[in-house]
A and B are shown apart, each in its own frame.
Chain A
Amino acid sequence: MAETLPAGLLYSKEHEWVKVDGDLATVGITDYAQSSLGDIVYVELPRKGAELEQFKSIGVVESVKAVSDLFTPVGGEVTEINDAIEGDPAVVNRDPYGAGWLYKVKLGDHSQTGELLNADQYQQVVSES
């Protein structure tokens, strides 16, 4: 798990990543998370238009054997969900930082990103887990 983390992302202690682009934030789970979960068979995402509150449980990720809560690293309105996941949940295993992104949020409050970790800080969290 010593792989280098993608540049330009922010992370949560619950192993989600966020990419902020203006008012829009794209959210996914980290490579560490997908690897710990194992083969992902189902992802339950919030609906488009839903209002999310930062760090709250907003869905689940299920591997063959286990159900895990999905927490949102940022709050705001869901503008898009990754439709590819429903038919092919394993895309989250294969490409967690790319094609396996989960949903996009219109950021309500930019100061929330101050609560997140940079790559070095997240690497520290992973090395201690």
Chain B
Amino acid sequence: MSTDVDGILRRTALFDAHLALGGRMVPFGGFDMPVQYAGILKEHDAVRKRAGLFDLSHMGQFELRGASVGEWADALTINKVATMKPGQARYNVFTNERGGAHDDVIFYRLADERWLLVVNAANADKMWAHVGAERSGDVQLTDLRGERALIAIQGPRSVEWLQPFVGVELAPMKYYACAEAAVRGSRTPAVIARTGYTGEDGFELFLPASDAVAVWDTLLSEYRAHGLEPCGLGARDVLRLEAGMPLYGHEMDEEITPLQAGLAWAIKFDKPAFRGKAALEAQRDGGDFSRIAGLSMQGRVPARAGYPVLLDGAPVGEIRSGSWGPSVQKNIATALVSAPAATAGTRLAVEVRGTAHVASVEPLPFYRRPKI
């Protein structure tokens, strides 16, 4: 999809660093990315107890400029954009006319008329075409792919370990705040945001690709002995599933709406108009739509994407994501199921290689980080 014309996987600026660390590389979103280094369980454990370092440079970064960016984006997405203040980040979803999702994204408002938009790697080509086709008013779009890297540090030690290297006070930053500041090892200021996809405290650093290796190596050489682990996409997926966060293509896609994905909190029906609003209102008012439910499996058999889900022997949907959940010590999954089957406490069955295994519906998230 987003490989280059020869079908060759793209590499991030940290590719050689991944190989040197023993990363096992797999194709993801058109990039050759590390799925794991030491092992998913060890990396997961580091993020929950200390901190992990992630290369997320495959994600698409677009710069948006202009006085009308907020209004423009408000018409294409479910959440509110124009009301954001500089220094704020906000989760959002670009929708189609049917209310389905083009992509789930984060807007970062860096200044009154300057924004960073981060999109999923697998959707980056589609989203670049989409925002380009919808461009209006004084909105200027710049594709930063290839120029920018993204390094995330995630876990309870993130503030302590990142602070010596950045020129902004991290502790007072709120969840989903962002700032532009110097990072040691980086020649240009980076965007530093208290965002992430693991269910832990942490930060994401958006910086020039040419500075990525220096920042990555500095953090690892300083803290690896203290338990900072390089983490791959495998651990990231397990962490986000435990934290109940949707993954595009699994819990949400062009046909699965944000309402079905459990993102009602992000849909601002009080906005006068936005793409897909009528479809989402109709779905909400009808009420009887299939939706994403959290499942916990009884027994040791993991549920995997695509497995059929049954209620009283009748098919009611399918698994969309599934994994062992190390933080909860059981197999967990999400399933897209009919409304009656999605009520917490409902006893369902998951068909695994022809055999039914008992699962029960559990409210998301499976894991919530302990509050200090």
> A64 contacts B300, CB within 8 Å?
no
> B40 contacts A38, CB within 8 Å?
yes
Identify whether the interface residues of B are mostly helix, strand, loop, or mixed.
mixed
Alpha-carbon distance between A39 and B331 when the two chains are bound, in angstroms:
14
- Most A C-beta atoms less than 10 A away, residue of B39, B302, B323, B353: B302
Q: Is A84 an interface residue (CB 8 A)?
A: no
Alpha-carbon distance between A44 and B301 when the two chains are bound, in angstroms:
8
Q: Is B107 an interface residue (CB 8 A)?
A: no
Distance of A90 from chain B, by nearest CB (Å): 8
> A39 contacts B40, CB within 8 Å?
yes
Q: Is B237 an interface residue (CB 8 A)?
A: yes
B304: A residues at CB distance < 8 A: 67
- Most A C-beta atoms less than 10 A away, residue of B301, B324, B353: B324
> B238 contacts A42, CB within 8 Å?
no
> A60 contacts B323, CB within 8 Å?
no
B41: A residues at CB distance < 8 A: 39, 64
Alpha-carbon distance between A65 and B36 when the two chains are bound, in angstroms:
11
1/0 per residue B25-54: CB within 8 Å of A?
Answer: 000000000011001110000000000000
> B238 contacts A65, CB within 8 Å?
yes
> B353 contacts A60, CB within 8 Å?
yes
> B234 contacts A64, CB within 8 Å?
yes
| Chain B residue at smallest Cβ distance from A64 | B40
Tally of A interface residues using CB under 8 Å: 13
Q: Which of B35, B36, B324 contacts A41 (CB 8 A)?
A: B324
Q: Is A62 an interface residue (CB 8 A)?
A: yes
A42: B residues at CB distance < 8 A: 300-302, 324
Q: Which of B234, B300, B331 contacts A65 (CB 8 A)?
A: B234
1/0 per residue A59-80: CB within 8 Å of B?
Answer: 0101111010000000000000
Distance of B167 from chain A, by nearest CB (Å): 38
Q: Is A96 an interface residue (CB 8 A)?
A: no
> A65 contacts B40, CB within 8 Å?
yes
Within residues 258 to 287 of chain B, which ones have a CB less than 8 A from any CB in chain A?
none
Within residues 31 to 72 of chain A, which ones have a CB less than 8 A from any CB in chain B?
38-39, 41-42, 44, 60, 62-65, 67
| Chain B residue at smallest Cβ distance from A59 | B353
B234: A residues at CB distance < 8 A: 38, 64-65
Q: Is A89 an interface residue (CB 8 A)?
A: yes
Alpha-carbon distance between A60 and B304 when the two chains are bound, in angstroms:
13
Distance of B328 from chain A, by nearest CB (Å): 13
Q: With A38-B234, A42-B301, A86-B300 in contact, is A65–B323 under 8 Å at CB?
A: yes
> B39 contacts A41, CB within 8 Å?
no
B35: A residues at CB distance < 8 A: 65
> A39 contacts B39, CB within 8 Å?
yes
Q: With A64-B234, A64-B324 in contact, is A38–B300 under 8 Å at CB?
A: no
Alpha-carbon distance between A28 and B353 when the two chains are bound, in angstroms:
22
A65: B residues at CB distance < 8 A: 35, 40, 234, 237-238, 323
> A64 contacts B238, CB within 8 Å?
yes
Alpha-carbon distance between A39 and B238 when the two chains are bound, in angstroms:
13
Alpha-carbon distance between A25 and B207 when the two chains are bound, in angstroms:
57
Alpha-carbon distance between A41 and B40 when the two chains are bound, in angstroms:
11
B326: A residues at CB distance < 8 A: 64
> B300 contacts A89, CB within 8 Å?
yes
Alpha-carbon distance between A64 and B45 when the two chains are bound, in angstroms:
13
B238: A residues at CB distance < 8 A: 64-65
Alpha-carbon distance between A67 and B331 when the two chains are bound, in angstroms:
14
1/0 per residue B284-310: CB within 8 Å of A?
Answer: 000000000000000011101000000
Distance of A89 from chain B, by nearest CB (Å): 7
1/0 per residue A1-42: CB within 8 Å of B?
Answer: 000000000000000000000000000000000000011011
1/0 per residue B346-361: CB within 8 Å of A?
Answer: 0000000100000000
> Known contacts A41-B300, A44-B301, A64-B41; can you find 12 more A-B pairs with CB under 8 A?
A39-B39, A41-B324, A41-B331, A42-B300, A42-B302, A44-B353, A60-B353, A62-B302, A65-B234, A65-B237, A65-B238, A67-B302
A-B contact pairs, 22 of them (CB 8 A): A38-B40, A39-B39, A39-B40, A41-B300, A41-B302, A41-B324, A41-B331, A42-B301, A42-B302, A42-B324, A44-B301, A62-B302, A64-B40, A64-B41, A64-B323, A64-B324, A64-B326, A65-B35, A65-B238, A67-B302, A86-B300, A89-B300
Q: Residues on A close to B: CB < 8 A?
A: 38-39, 41-42, 44, 60, 62-65, 67, 86, 89
